[in-house]
Amino acid sequence: MKLRERMARYIRKRQGPDTLPLTLARRRLYILPTRTGIGFSLLLLLMLVAGLNYANSLALFLTFLLTGFTLVTMHHCHRNLLGAQLVAATAHPTFAQRDGTLSLSFENSSGSPRFQIAAGVGDLPTIAAADVPANGFGKIEIPVPAAKRGIVRVDRLHLVTTHPFGLFRAWTWVHAPIEMLVYPRPQGLLPLPADIGNKSGERSLTNAGADEWLGLRAFRDGDSPRQVDWKAYARDAPLLVKEYSAAGAEVRIFDLSHLGHLGMEAQLEQLARWIVDAESNGERYGLKVPNRFIAPNHGSEHRHQCLAALAVVGLEETARVH
């Protein structure tokens, strides 16, 4: 482990910080035989010894032919990464105790496709790979663990390929500033607080109990199952959520100080639960946390703004994935 950390520091110092878009140059690529490649090399060595020992020209010819095949394979493995462009890296917000998603966008400006380019976060194993067509684009989505709320910073990415035949492994490291916002998980049993804002006597009688249909939208993490359009889903449609806006509805203000009987994390989780439920119901809501007040509104941007404010309450340091 110490050797690996020492090598990581050396590579970071040698390459320096990276900015996107990034073209993978020759000097930053590394290549070594895989276990399969080492076994294949030992087989060639045994074939060479046997051919020399028995003066078998056919065995020697086959050995040299396979050796040339191995060298060509090494060249193609290295070229599969050489010149590829990492255009963008986007980490989408997620809820705590769920895996987030890091999307990597690649561009291939050469006339040859690039096969099986894999990517991973830090020293975690690569579990996602994609082909990038000639003169085209490709995307790889990597799961990123998000154990707790806050900001997860991805210190290093590694890009790997073993194409073709898996005899060699070419790889490189990317040190680009990538951050992923982690919301508190929406959890809590307390009911939504009483509406405040408009007085009940000011609500229009003609609109009492009426809801305004806003439409359908794609399902998001934390949405209530009660809002899902199950009939459409049964007809092989994507998972969609019904959106309503309560006509003349009063606004809700979610105040952190009103949950003082709970622990800090439990308070934030309860507020996240209320925000998700209020947004699913099409209600207008605001948020009050220490040193910040978010005015009542609704919509996906407002939902993100409120959950993002909860994600960083009381936090000064960011979590890191090495």
Written as one string, the DSSP assignment of 157-213 is EEEEE-TTTTSEEEEEEE---EEEEEEPP----PPPPPP-SS-GGGS-GGGTT-EEE
Residues 311 and 182 sit within 8 Å (Cβ to Cβ): yes
Question: In this predicted structure, what is the pLDDT of residue 4?
Answer: 74
Question: In this predicted structure, what is the pLDDT of residue 203?
Answer: 42
Residues 294 and 305 sit within 8 Å (Cβ to Cβ): yes
Q: Look at the block and give the residue holding tokens 């193609």.
A: 76
Look at residues 318, 312, 2 and name the one whose alpha carbon lies nearest to residue 155. Answer: 318
Report if pTM > 0.85. no
Positions in the chain whose pLDDT score sits under 70: 1, 195-215, 222, 243-250, 316-322
Supply 99's token pair: 């895996």
Strand order in 168-174's β-sheet? 30-33, 168-174, 157-161, 114-121, 128-132
Residues 159 and 77 sit within 8 Å (Cβ to Cβ): no
Question: In this predicted structure, what is the pLDDT of residue 320?
Answer: 57
**Residues sharing a CB contact under 8 Å with residue 89, sequence separation 6 or more, in sequence order:** 20, 102, 103, 104, 105, 154, 157, 176, 178
State how far the alpha carbon of 297 is from the alpha carbons of 132, 220, 285, 287, 306, in Å.
42, 19, 6, 10, 10
Residues 129 and 165 sit within 8 Å (Cβ to Cβ): no
Residue type, 160: V
Residues 153 and 137 sit within 8 Å (Cβ to Cβ): no
Question: In this predicted structure, what is the pLDDT of residue 224?
Answer: 72
Question: In this predicted structure, what is the pLDDT of residue 200?
Answer: 38
Supply 283's token pair: 């209600």
Residues 273 and 261 sit within 8 Å (Cβ to Cβ): no
Q: How many CB atoms lie within 10 A of CB 194?
A: 8
Residues 170 and 227 sit within 8 Å (Cβ to Cβ): no
**Strand runs labelled E in the chain:** 22-23, 30-33, 85-92, 94-95, 100-108, 114-121, 128-132, 136-144, 150-154, 157-161, 168-174, 178-183, 211-218, 240-246, 252-255, 285-289, 292-297, 319-321
Supply 290's token pair: 């220490």
